[in-house]
Amino acid sequence: MAFTLSNPNLVIKIEPQDLEVKSLVYLKTGEELIKDPYTGLPLLHLFQVNPEEEGIVPRKIALKETRIYSGLEGGGRFYISWEALDSNYSSLNLIGNIEGAIDVIRPRLLWQLTIRNNTSQKIWLQVLFPQISGLGLGMPKEEFLALPHHAGDLTRNPIQEYTSLRYQSFGRAATKKEGNIYVREINYCGLASMNWMDYHRRDLGIYFGCHDPNFGLTGLRSYSCMVNYPSMGLGFRRFPVLNEEEEWVSPPFILEIHEGDWHSGARIYREWATQFINPPCNPKDLAEQYALHPRYDFFREGKVLHSFSDIPALYERGKEWGIKHFFIAGWNHGGFDAQYPDYHPAMELGSPLELERGCRYINADGGMVTFYINARLFDTGLPSYKEKGYNWAIKRPGGDVYIEQYDTPSLFAVMCPASEGWQGWLKDLAIWMVKAYGARGIYFDQLGSAEPFPCYHSLSISDHHPHHPEDYNRGYLKLLKETLEAIRKENPKAFLMIENCGDIYGQYVWGSLTWNGVLYDEHYSIYRYTFPEHSLVMMVHPKRLSEVEGDEKLRRDLFYQHIEQALLLGAVFWIAPDRRFGPGDEQMLLHANQMLKLRASIAREIARCHYVDQDGILSKGEIAVSHWIGKDDPRFHLICIGNHKGKGGEVEIEAFQVDSLWARGLGGELIQVPWKYTDRGIKLLIPPEFPALVIGIEGS
């Protein structure tokens, strides 16, 4: 018999015997949001990890009995108790409760799971909870899933798209077919930058978030359910460990129905997250940074392309474009993507003093240098791997390590961020680069980008870094915090950068180098809107032809699209003027130079504003628009316009009194833009000949 919870906005019905949500009705519209109540995907799946078997999928534990033992019909809270059967590994005696609570007013449900281990042994589990399936919003082709894959994916018609070959082929963020259900799972914090998802149409959505103040490793799971009726599912994975007679209580999981699209979900998550995540504290001059000059072409694939003595000349090339932030990678033994973490200057490139002289040249000119360090990988071919690397590595049950390979012959073991030995090695490297070479920035590659894994090191024979399997995120948090403190003792203006982004990591870094899968629904506004105080660095150079399957038109279209997106997001441009632009790219190179000058001309305004995406934009036609509001003076508005397709049009903004208005176009030159008052606000008239412009408005 189904059990019902309700408030003035929401009614939910749960069937305790099969642990499925059978009905979810939003009373304001009267809509039933469960379109298929019989997907066979329950609220809870339990799996036990076997400490003696290597490389196997954890075995599912059957639930012997479920029953509601407390709760008032139509009231605000219920409990479902359960017991677990033997998992074939050992005699199990697990009992637990699923708790559900509905908010007094808001259309919000809180879910929480309790598990008690009544056995005489330690137990490692994986828990899929809560899983809500059979969802639908009645407009499949106009429905979207906002997922925090890196800086954000926004997938139209996810129920259909997740079944496509495109998504089944998407590397580490792919969907996997499990019977009639297609599952996409990304782990937080790294591959997933935040701990929430939002399934929505334009006017109505479903937010689902894990509100864990301890920031443990979490799998975000989204499902395309092709069972009785095409529908959507959302859920989470956790990795609890229970000692004898110990009880584990999950973090709270929040499901909330909201009006509007994913922006409403972002505000729900931010409202919670900012209670625990501090804003970054960086030197003031970094707020006005607008470009970074990356050099990965020193030593790679066994070839020396530049030496340390070339650093001054390379720096001057970027300086011709106004870029004084020099980023150096491939400087280490073996070159780029080889012999990590042996971060000593490669002899092939020159002496350590030549490297120091190059950095000193940049610093003396008022520039800054950031050094690349990979925060994830240890080359298994190094003699020190057996002594150090294996002990620091993430372990599967049984002691196997994760091996990864990139574009070089090197095979790398994935290191565990919770290993104190690995943390200490990376921190000392960063301190050394600041002290010895005058580095101001340290870039930890892969830290916010690569897939996080649970580590079962404490199950292996040698226990060199005992910790909880969920400590991946907490390990990197400790590394970032302690490294930043240490390098600022050497240089108070020092800073950290990471690859891609993570909400908890952002409080300790200046810039997050943001990228995503080409042609995979990337939508960086999701992260930027949720955490506008976190600076994004965006690659704006053209793609290699190999990255777009030889399609030159697509390569050009993506270039104009990406550099426009970087402007709208107020991102720092990641660009080397003499790389990635070849014969025939003269027009793109000119456009890049003009866009960079425009970005430089508004650096001070970007620094004084926060990003609100399209809040306050009433209409925009086919023009790309972003809206910024002054942090200290909300009467100041910045409107960034992207019109690279040359269609022009009108942009209407919510009403306020205009005291003054200015506009800058390509090259940063002041231009005139017609505007007028309307019944709803003000209307900007964007001529088609302006491919990009920024408008500043002082209002009252």
pLDDT, average across residues 309-325 = 98
On the question of pLDDT at 25 being above 50, the answer is yes
On the question of pLDDT at 594 being above 50, the answer is yes
On the question of pLDDT at 163 being above 50, the answer is yes
pLDDT tens string 211-266 = 999 999 999 999 999 999 999 999 999 999 999 999 999 999 999 999 999 999 99
| Whether residue 616 sits in one domain with residue 593 | no
pLDDT tens string 181-213 = 999 999 999 999 999 999 999 999 999 999 999
**Of the ranges 69-78, 123-132, 360-369, which one carries the lowest mean pLDDT score?**
69-78
**Of the ranges 298-307, 318-327, 461-470, which one carries the lowest mean pLDDT score?**
461-470
| Whether residue 317 sits in one domain with residue 246 | no
pLDDT, average across residues 618-630 = 95
Give the angle subtended at the CA of 279 by the CAs of 274 and 284, to the nearest 5°.
160
On the question of pLDDT at 52 being above 80, the answer is no
Residue 382 lies in a domain: no
- Which pLDDT value is given to residue 171? 84
| Whether residue 615 sits in one domain with residue 568 | no
The CA distance from 331 to 348, in Å, is: 9
Q: Tell me if 297 sits within 8 A of 304, measured CB to CB.
A: no
| Whether residue 191 sits in one domain with residue 133 | yes
pLDDT, average across residues 14-31 = 91
| Of 607, 624, 658, the domain-final residue | 607
Helix (H) or strand (E) holding 127: strand 123-128
- Which pLDDT value is given to residue 517? 63
pLDDT tens string 557-585 = 999 999 999 999 999 999 999 999 999 99
Q: Which residue reads 């598990």 in tokens?
A: 115
At residue 116, what is the residue type?
A: R
- Which pLDDT value is given to residue 321? 97
- Which pLDDT value is given to residue 460? 52
Q: Tell me if 652 sits within 8 A of 619, measured CB to CB.
A: yes
On the question of pLDDT at 50 being above 80, the answer is no
pLDDT, average across residues 60-77 = 60
Q: Tell me if 107 sits within 8 A of 26, measured CB to CB.
A: yes
Q: Tell me if 292 sits within 8 A of 370, measured CB to CB.
A: yes
**Of the ranges 37-46, 72-81, 177-186, 377-386, which one carries the lowest mean pLDDT score?**
72-81
Do you know the residue count of the chain?
700
pLDDT tens string 505-522 = 999 999 999 986 667 899
- Which pLDDT value is given to residue 74? 46
3-state helix, strand, coil in the chain (%, to 5): 25, 35, 40
Q: Tell me if 613 sits within 8 A of 626, measured CB to CB.
A: yes
Complete edge-to-edge strand list for the sheet that includes strand 412-414: 377-379, 412-414, 403-404
Residue 393 lies in a domain: no
| Whether residue 264 sits in one domain with residue 335 | no
Strands (E), 585-667: 609-611, 617-619, 624-630, 636-642, 649-654, 658-665
At residue 318, what is the residue type?
A: G
pLDDT, average across residues 480-487 = 98
The CA distance from 132 to 64, in Å, is: 21
Q: Tell me if 669 sits within 8 A of 592, measured CB to CB.
A: no
Interacting residues of 546 by C-beta distance below 8 A, sequence separation 6+: none
On the question of pLDDT at 73 being above 70, the answer is no
Q: Which residue reads 């998407």 in tokens?
A: 170
Residue 169 lies in a domain: yes
Banded model confidence at residue 88, pLDDT cuts 50, 70, 90: low
On the question of pLDDT at 549 being above 60, the answer is yes
Residue 251 lies in a domain: yes
On the question of pLDDT at 84 being above 90, the answer is no
| Of 552, 581, 607, the domain-final residue | 607
pLDDT, average across residues 444-470 = 82
Residue 282 lies in a domain: no
Pairing of strands 511-514, 495-500: parallel
- Which pLDDT value is given to residue 67? 60
| Whether residue 207 sits in one domain with residue 249 | yes
91, 531, 599 from 528: Cα distances, Å: 49, 5, 17
Here the tokens at position 484 are 């930043």
| Of 214, 241, 273, the domain-final residue | 273
Q: Which domain holds residue 349?
A: 290-375+420-448+475-607
- Which pLDDT value is given to residue 686? 95
Exposed, middle or buried by CB within 10 Å (0-12, 13-18, 19+), for 432? Answer: middle
Banded model confidence at residue 33, pLDDT cuts 50, 70, 90: very high
| Whether residue 298 sits in one domain with residue 181 | no
| Whether residue 175 sits in one domain with residue 320 | no
Residue 454 lies in a domain: no
Comparison of pLDDT for 621 and 33, the residue scoring more: 33
Q: What is the CATH number of the domain that holds 646?
A: 2.60.40
Q: What is the CATH number of the domain that holds 561?
A: 3.20.20.80
pLDDT, average across residues 121-138 = 94
Kindly report the backbone phi and psi dihedral angles of residue 248, in degrees, each rounded to the nearest multiple of 5, phi listed first.
-115, 135
| Whether residue 209 sits in one domain with residue 131 | yes
What is the four-CA torsion angle of 472, 385, 513, 504, rounded to 10 degrees? 20
Pairing of strands 624-630, 609-611: antiparallel
Q: Tell me if 696 sits within 8 A of 605, measured CB to CB.
A: yes
| Whether residue 349 sits in one domain with residue 479 | yes
332, 336, 356, 426 from 345: Cα distances, Å: 5, 12, 10, 16
pLDDT, average across residues 379-402 = 93
pLDDT, average across residues 95-116 = 93
| Whether residue 310 sits in one domain with residue 240 | no
Tell how many helices (H) and how many strands (E) occur in the chain. 12, 46
Percent of the chain surpassing pLDDT 90: 82
Residue 690 lies in a domain: yes
Round the average pLDDT of the chain to a whole number and report it. Answer: 93
Radius of gyration (C-alpha) of the chain in whole angstroms: 26
Here the tokens at position 195 are 């701990």
- Which pLDDT value is given to residue 430? 98
Residue 81 lies in a domain: yes
| Whether residue 121 sits in one domain with residue 8 | yes
**Per-position b or e across 481-491, b if 16+ CB within 10 A of its CB:** ebbbeebbeee
On the question of pLDDT at 461 being above 50, the answer is no
On the question of pLDDT at 459 being above 70, the answer is no
- Which pLDDT value is given to residue 57? 56
- Work out how many domains the chain is built from and give that number: 3
